[in-house]
Chains A and B, each alone.
Chain A
Amino acid sequence: MGSKASPTAVPAQRAWFTDLTRDARGYRPAHFGKAAPTGYRGETMKTLVSVADLSRRFGAHVALSGVSLTLERGEVLGLLGPNGAGKTTCLRILSGNLVPTSGRVEIDGLDLVRQPIPAKGRLGYLPERPPVYPELRVDEYLGYCARLRRVPSRRVGGAVAEAKRRCGLEDAGRHPIARLSKGYRQRLGIAQAIVHRPSLLILDEPTEGLDPVQIREVRSLVRELAADTGVIFSSHILSEVQALCDRVAILHRGRVVYSDCLLADHETRVWRVRLAPPRDAVSLAALACVEEAFPLGEERFRVVLNAGAGAEDLARDMVQAGLGLRELTAERSDLERVFFDLIGAGDAA
Chain B
Amino acid sequence: MTPLLWVLLGAGQIVLAWVFLQTLEHFSGLKADERVASLSLELSLNLFGLAAVLALLAAPLITMRMLSGELRDGSFDLIGSAPVRLAEVIAGKFLGAVILVTPLCLLPAANLALLAGEARLDPGLFAAATLGLWLAALLFTAVGLYGSSLSAQPGPAVLAAFGILLLFSVIGRAESLGVEGLSLFGWLAWNEHLFWFLLGAVRLGDVAYFLLFTLFFLALTHRRLANRRLG
Contacts and interface: CB of A to CB of B under 8 A. Distances in A.
Nearest to A58: B231
B80 to A, nearest CB: 4
Given A125-B77, A131-B74, A148 B229 contact: no
A125 B83 contact: no
A286 B80 CA distance: 64
Interface string B66-100: 00000001111111111111000000000000000
Given A117-B85, A121-B83, A129-B73, A148 B230 contact: no
Contacts of A128: 74
A292 to B, nearest CB: 51
A98 B83 contact: no
B82 A132 contact: no
B89 to A, nearest CB: 10
A254 to B, nearest CB: 14
A56 B230 CA distance: 9
Nearest to B69: A133
B77 A97 contact: yes
A256 interface: no
A123 B230 contact: no
Given A58-B231, A98-B231, A129-B73, A150 B83 contact: yes
A132 B81 contact: no
B24 to A, nearest CB: 41
B50 to A, nearest CB: 31
Interface string A114-132: 0011101101110111011
Nearest to B92: A148
Contacts of A127: 74, 77-78
Interface in B201-226: none
- Which of A92, A125, A131, A145 has the most chain B CB atoms inside 10 A of its CB? A131
Taking residues whose C-beta sits less than 8 angstroms from the other chain, chain B's interface range is: 10 to 19
Contacts of A131: 73-78
A148 B74 contact: no
A244 interface: no
A132 B83 contact: no
Contacts of B85: 117
Contact of A95 (B73, B75, B77, B84): B77
Given A97-B229, A98-B229, A117-B85, A132 B75 contact: yes
Nearest to B2: A135
A192 interface: yes
Counting chain A CB atoms within 10 Å of each CB, the highest count among B74, B82, B230 belongs to B82
B83 A192 contact: no
Residue of B73, B78, B80, B231 with highest tally of chain A CB at under 10 A: B78
A95 B80 CA distance: 8
B82 A120 contact: yes
Contacts of B74: 127-129, 131
Nearest to A132: B75
B78 A118 contact: no
A120 B75 contact: no
Given A117-B85, A118-B83, A121-B83, A145 B78 contact: yes
Nearest to A145: B78
Interface string A84-128: 000000001001111100000000000000001110110111011
A56 B73 CA distance: 23
Most buried by B among A97, A123, A129: A97
Interface in B124-151: none
Contacts of B77: 92, 95, 97, 125, 127, 131
Nearest to B77: A127
A118 B76 CA distance: 19
A324 to B, nearest CB: 56
A92 B82 CA distance: 12
Given A58-B231, A132-B75, A96 B84 contact: no
A247 to B, nearest CB: 23
B81 A123 contact: yes
A56 B80 CA distance: 18
Top 6 A-B pairs ranked by shortest CB distance? Answer: A131-B78, A97-B80, A125-B81, A121-B83, A95-B81, A131-B75
Given A99-B230, A132-B75, 10 more contacts: A95-B80, A117-B83, A117-B84, A118-B83, A120-B82, A131-B77, A133-B75, A148-B79, A149-B82, A192-B78
28 contacts: A56-B231, A58-B231, A92-B77, A96-B81, A97-B80, A97-B81, A99-B229, A116-B83, A117-B84, A120-B81, A120-B82, A123-B81, A124-B81, A125-B78, A125-B81, A127-B74, A127-B78, A129-B73, A131-B73, A131-B74, A131-B75, A131-B77, A131-B78, A133-B75, A148-B84, A149-B82, A150-B83, A202-B81
